[in-house]
Structure 1
Amino acid sequence: MSLPPLSLRARITALTAATAVLAAVAVGYTVAAADGDGRPAASAAAPGLTLDKAPGLYHASRKGNVLSTPYSPSGTETADGARSRKTGLSCNRFYASGGSAVCIANHPGLSQKTKVTVLDRELDTRETVVVGGIPNRARVSPSGRMVAWTLFVSGDSYASSSFSTRSGILDTRTGYLVKNVETLQLYIEGRRYHAPDVNYWGITFADDDNRFYATVATKGKTYLVEGDMRTWKARTLRRNAECPSLSPDGTRIAFKKRVRKGTQDPWRLHVLDLGTMRETPLAETRSVDDQAAWLDDSTLAYSLPGRAKGTSDIWTVPADAPATGPRLLLSDASSPSMVQGGG
């Protein structure tokens, strides 16, 4: 199974070295582990920095520091030399929307765990959840109410030659927590489906805080699913679609599609029109192992490996036919998240 920076990556066979391998995989496209006790740091925050007062492109550096950098659609305000402001957070993955943010970071202990920290618009902690696994994906709904995460895990009885994932959802308004979305009633191509190897990852929310999209994998196949929080059901929309990301206008989904067999550069970014179910390959022809983020209705951002080992860079590409190629936005950066003024 492949995943997303964090995706299900290609299948890894060295289960005897599970913790070490997973850690290396997680860092490859993301950032270093959180410091000390795994809590988001607060001492380095810029005075008065809030999601309202510091709109722009939020991202994580190689060392795990979350920064806010000015951004304009033309890119003229965003460059490696642009003035970035520290949030004081240290995260493997970060995402902000609707006046809320989520920071997921490695949590210390004998077993591999992740601390999920939900933050308000002042970047103060609202809630924390500790769950087993290695940080992989994080998303917040447009309203800021719903928070989701995906983690790498090992030890599932069916996963003798690959790692698995666990995805969770938190409703910050009601406090309702789903630690494992595998309890969803799943319908594959119209029929109720049960299997022990079902895995979900890469959740993305619609603006009604009820509908969401995700990847589900089973029997060596991946599907794009549409989920419903109220009924707790999910149905497949199409095959071969991973790491979905819903556009701000709610009409399209960016995803990575497997276009080559094997584990070497297998994916290409596409955009799916939900009205026509027509897909469009984007101008980025390199293999992108990430859950792309929409900076606006016409631009996608994503991470690719940097020149130096263990680093990554943020690139952008138009979310339409490949008329304009990809552009380097920030070096030594990952986990892009666009925050508009006013939270």
Structure 2
Amino acid sequence: MNRENVLSRRNRLLVLLAAVLVLAAVAVGAVLHAAGRAAQKDQEQAGGPPVRSGKVTLDAPGRGVFRNMAWGPHRDEIASVAADDPTGPRTASGVRCLRFHTAGGTGVCLQAVRGGLREAYRAVVLDAHLRELRHYDLAGVPTRARVSPDGRSVAWTVFVSGDSYAGTAFSTRTSVVDTRTWTVDRDLEDYQVFVDDRPYKRADINVWGVTFADDTRFYATVATAGKTYLVSGDRTARTLRALHENVECPSLSPDGTRIAYKKRVEGASSDAPWRLYVLDLRTLRESATAERRNVDDQAVWRDGHTLVYSLPGDYGSDLWTVPADGSGRPQVAMAAALAPAFTGRAR
């Protein structure tokens, strides 16, 4: 075979190989496009809100950030919408969390870690671009998470036994981490508790539901001897001081004067015992909101007047709003969502 024939054959092979590669690329593109269309169609058929992949940051003003509960490839991802258009298109981050909160450009994501013989959990502290700064193994199932207004302190609560606040056979562990020094208070039960201004010690103390006033002062729930208390906490003094009874999962208002919380009410079912209340910290006067259904959540203040909280929905959870002053009526804010926070807001 002469040199010209060899070159001609080689050229034909190269052309054939290039054609095969082009066809393969077209086929792969078609498959990926079809898969994307199928996922979108599945979501539309399920009736879920539209969700798309994109960039999510925790320091952009005027955004609502939450755990997306819509069925599809972005379920459980942290997503973002315009705070003034909560039913608009969602941008999903790719970061999956069971519980989430953000403030001051810092985020905390409580997530499942799969791969072993049983499911494990961890708390991940995130920067404003959702990049991991630190992570911590958790001793139980995630249930509550909060970040201080300046982003310098992060708290989380897990169930270490039992799986519901409604009963009495449960135990919690609440931890706080300083994002400047990365020192960790592993268990707030190690703090000195005061009830009626006297030191109080019992083996049955549980602490949960931190809400921060600043990076060292906070409020939380302490349960003991069949009662629950709102306590004020001081990380420097390592103390918890009881302020008011029958308060669970407190949430401090942006101006620091009121606590939204769930209260056990007489006559309610033991499976659905809570109603949403607001406590004035100056007078300790409590008032019911217009939400009469059972609220098993740590509410969030959208602003100084409106509370946001979750109730069961078609996708697991929907977000509702109600005025904090007892007026108005509950309204659906966002379907298929959980664990909301608002960027560029005080709390």
Distance 2:175 2:119 in 1: 16
The residue that corresponds to 1:251 in the other structure is 257
User: Paired residue for 2:135, among 128, 132, 151?
Assistant: 128
Instruction: Work out whether residues 215 and 241 of structure 1, in 8 Å CA contact, stay in contact via their aligned partners in 2.
Output: yes
The residue that corresponds to 1:239 in the other structure is 245
Alignment of 1:218 onto 2:230:
no
Distance 1:93 1:193 in 2: 31
Alignment of 1:138 onto 2:145:
yes
Identity %: 46
1:7-156 → structure 2 map (5 Å cutoff):
46-47=54-55, 49-53=56-60, 55-62=62-69, 63-72=75-84, 77-79=85-87, 82-108=88-114, 109-110=116-117, 113-154=120-161
Shift of 1:107: 2.5
- Structure 1 counterpart of 2:79, one-letter code: L
The residue that corresponds to 2:323 in the other structure is 318
Instruction: Work out whether residues 59 and 104 of structure 2, in 8 Å CA contact, stay in contact via their aligned partners in 1.
Output: no
- Structure 2 counterpart of 1:149, one-letter code: W
The residue that corresponds to 1:32 in the other structure is none
The residue that corresponds to 2:283 in the other structure is 276
Instruction: Work out whether residues 299 and 316 of structure 1, in 8 Å CA contact, stay in contact via their aligned partners in 2.
Output: yes
- Structure 2 counterpart of 1:46, one-letter code: G
| TM-score normalised by L of structure 1 | 0.79
Q: Cα 1:219–1:112, aligned 2, differ >3 Å: closer, same or farther?
A: farther
Shift of 1:78: 2.0
- For the aligned residues, what is the CA RMSD? 2.0
* Bigger share in helix: 2
Shift of 1:331: 0.8
**DSSP 3-state at the match of 1:150:** strand
Alignment of 1:266 onto 2:266:
no
Q: Cα 1:341–1:295, aligned 2, differ >3 Å: closer, same or farther?
A: closer
Runs of 4+ off more than 4 Å? none
Distance 2:346 2:157 in 1: 28
**DSSP 3-state at the match of 1:296:** coil
Q: Cα 1:112–1:236, aligned 2, differ >3 Å: closer, same or farther?
A: farther
Shift of 1:45: 5.6
Structure 1 residue runs without a partner (length 5+): 1-43
Shift of 1:180: 1.1
Distance 2:168 2:150 in 1: 39
1:187-226 → structure 2 map (5 Å cutoff):
187-207=194-214, 209-226=215-232
Instruction: Work out whether residues 60 and 344 of structure 2, in 8 Å CA contact, stay in contact via their aligned partners in 1.
Output: no
The residue that corresponds to 2:31 in the other structure is none
- Structure 1 counterpart of 2:316, one-letter code: T
Distance 1:302 1:342 in 2: 17
Distance 2:339 2:111 in 1: 13
Instruction: Work out whether residues 52 and 341 of structure 1, in 8 Å CA contact, stay in contact via their aligned partners in 2.
Output: no
More contact order relative to length (CA 8 Å, sep ≥ 6): 1
| TM-score normalised by L of structure 2 | 0.78
Structure 2 residue runs without a partner (length 5+): 1-51, 70-74
- Structure 2 counterpart of 1:234, one-letter code: L
Shift of 1:112: 5.2
- Structure 1 counterpart of 2:303, one-letter code: D
Q: Deviations over 1:242-283 (max 9, x none)?
A: 000011111111011100355232111111111111111101
The residue that corresponds to 1:338 in the other structure is 342
Quick check: 82-91 or 50-59, which moved more? 50-59
Instruction: Work out whether residues 305 and 312 of structure 1, in 8 Å CA contact, stay in contact via their aligned partners in 2.
Output: yes
- Structure 1 counterpart of 2:123, one-letter code: V
Q: Deviations over 1:308-333 (max 9, x none)?
A: 3x61100011111x221011011111
Distance 1:169 1:97 in 2: 15
Q: Deviations over 1:29-81 (max 9, x none)?
A: xxxxxxxxxxxxxxx9614x322347411111223111111122xxxx222xx
Q: Cα 1:341–1:242, aligned 2, differ >3 Å: closer, same or farther?
A: closer
Larger radius of gyration: 2
Distance 1:342 1:254 in 2: 15
